Amino acid sequence: MGLEKLLPCTVKLSNILAKSGHDVLCVIDRAVPAELADVFEEHRSFDKAFDSVVSCFKSANLDVPVIYAPVEELTDYADVRSYQKAAAQSLQRAIKAGFQAPLLVVPQSKRFSQAELCTVLGALEELYVPIQLREDVPSKKQRINSLSVLINNPNAEKIMQEALVLESGRLIARDIGGGDPERMAPPLVEAYIKPLFANLSVNVIDDVDVINKEYPLFAAVNRAAHTVERHQGRIIYLEYKPPNPARKTVMLVGKGVTYDTGGADIKAGGVMAGMSRDKCGAAAVAGFMQVVSELKPKDIHVIGALCLVRNSVGEECYVSDELITSRAGVRVRIGNTDAEGRMCMADVLCRMKELAIEGNLPDPHIFTIATLTGHAFISAGEGQSIIVDNSVAAKEDHARKLQAAGQAYGEPFEVSVLRQCDFDFNAAKARGEDVVQANNAPSVKTPRGHQVPAAFMIKATGLDKHGVNSKQPLKYTHLDIAGSAGEYPNMPTAAPIVALVKTHLVD
């Protein structure tokens, strides 16, 4: 699919302030273009709030009105998201005023080296229109007709192209993550994805007999939903093989729970609303693969997997106390059916492990990406993801590298460390079981509630046999994006696509 079809509107570069196909000028930096210096100083002379609120006014020096959405005061603890926020606010005001072709003046920053790219990304994010609105009300498929950007940088064209490629992946992630439980039920995610990735290998696992045999933990979650055809689970593998011999392999597994009722351990007390966002991990994998398909790295092999399932409740739903043998041969005692995310990913994670070993893939690094725990949300706070490296990835200081990229590009991470107590928590409690899937308390009431699931997935998949001192060490990283994926009613953020791209696709 053409890149232009995956953008919120026509986007183009401009090199002049005068009216040239745009109807309003959006400024976010206090260091304004020379043509506006006098009028800005005049406003400051009588309006003490001028540099702290959004303004819209006319200037005798320009043919078009001006919107000023100043970047907030930058403290020692601010990050580049301040620029993204200001860009979004400027376009919000332009849309409210009825403008259709804004020109955004993109500032430079000595402090934040990626401020220009992040400013453009912030603007594009604000222009996103949800897929169901685009489909149901075609007249509202765009918020504006066009966006022009003025970037005073010799690399302006490169910055713009990079932003458009990244946004194409983020749009796909928002479509999947933000679609309601019916529009983005597993079979419809499959239908949405297939036309997008004609240049990638796409393998869909939908045969329930295959799922039951090869992905038994996923199958347990899928059991109740499988009774309803339109909710039946899918495991979708997307693969990109580079034209040159690969020097490394990136393998991503995304949690795609299209709706989470909690299952038999049902989400009661009004906490079920918003659970259609529980597929944002799989959505991020799809978005990442879109960026891969555009960048076409010459020597990086990439495999993504979307674990798409609905955690339904009903007479066929799995229940606590069941003993299920995982793909890796590990006997798992179910402790809580609302811990379905680790269940739906574990066997696919095991398959990635097998591919890495049996295929002798070069320098493999396996990831799980999931809106997995409320504990991650309250630990990191809204807007931040959490990184949990296994011992092999930690030895290469991977988490700090990914965190540095996230900080630079507006997708910040906190780093958590796996400890022996996390594995002890999941240890078998009775004869006949190898590992316990979860306790029966919410993660927010469980000490180390976001580290424990990572330890479970390592144990249930046999990754514990591939540590630092093993014959075949494997890097594994779990990313809990519960805090960063975007809570309803906000739009999905598509985190952590940009940070992953910058860490693992771009040297």
CA distances 86 to 81, 100, 449, Å, are: 9, 18, 35
Q: Which of 93, 342, 353, 459 is catalytic?
A: 342
d(CA 368, CA 281): 8
CA 135, chain centre distance (Å): 23
The label of the residue with tokens 């580079």 reads: 242
The question of whether 475 is a catalytic residue gets the answer: no
State the Cα angle at 154 between 149 and 160, rounded to 5°. 40
**Which of 99, 153, 88, 92 lies closest to 124, judged by CA?**
88
* Rounded Cα distance, 37 and 30, in Å: 9
C-alpha span between 356 and 348 (Å, rounded): 12
Strand, helix or coil for residue 317: coil
- Nearest 5 degrees, angle CA 200-CA 359-CA 244? 55
Query: What distance in Å separates the CA atoms of residue 7 and residue 19, rounded to the nearest whole number?
Result: 24
How many other C-beta atoms are found inside a 10 Å radius of the C-beta of residue 377? 23
> 314: left (phi > 0), else alpha (psi -120 to 50), else beta?
left
Amino acid type, 256: G
- Catalytic residue list contains 183: no
Decide: residue 111, CB within 10 A, 0-12 exposed, 13-18 middle, 19+ buried: exposed
Please give the backbone phi and psi of residue 237, each rounded to the nearest 5 degrees, phi first.
-100, 130
Query: What is the rounded distance in angstroms from the CA atom of residue 420 to the CA atom of residue 249?
Result: 28
Q: Provide the 10 A C-beta neighbour count for residue 355.
A: 19
**Helical H runs in 384-478?**
391-395, 398-408, 420-425, 451-461
What is the SS3 assignment for 275?
helix
Among the listed residues 267, 331, 401, 465, the single catalytic one is: 267
Q: For every residue of 323-386, which 3-state class applies, written as one string?
A: EEECCCCCEEECCCCCCHHHHHHHHHHHHHHHHHHHCCCCCEEEEEEECCCHHHHHHHCCCCEE
Q: Rounded to whole angstroms, what are the CA distances from 13 to 269, 318, 325? A: 50, 54, 56
Calpha distance 486→471 (Å, rounded)? 40
CB 280 within 8 A of CB 355: no
* Residues with catalytic function: 267, 342
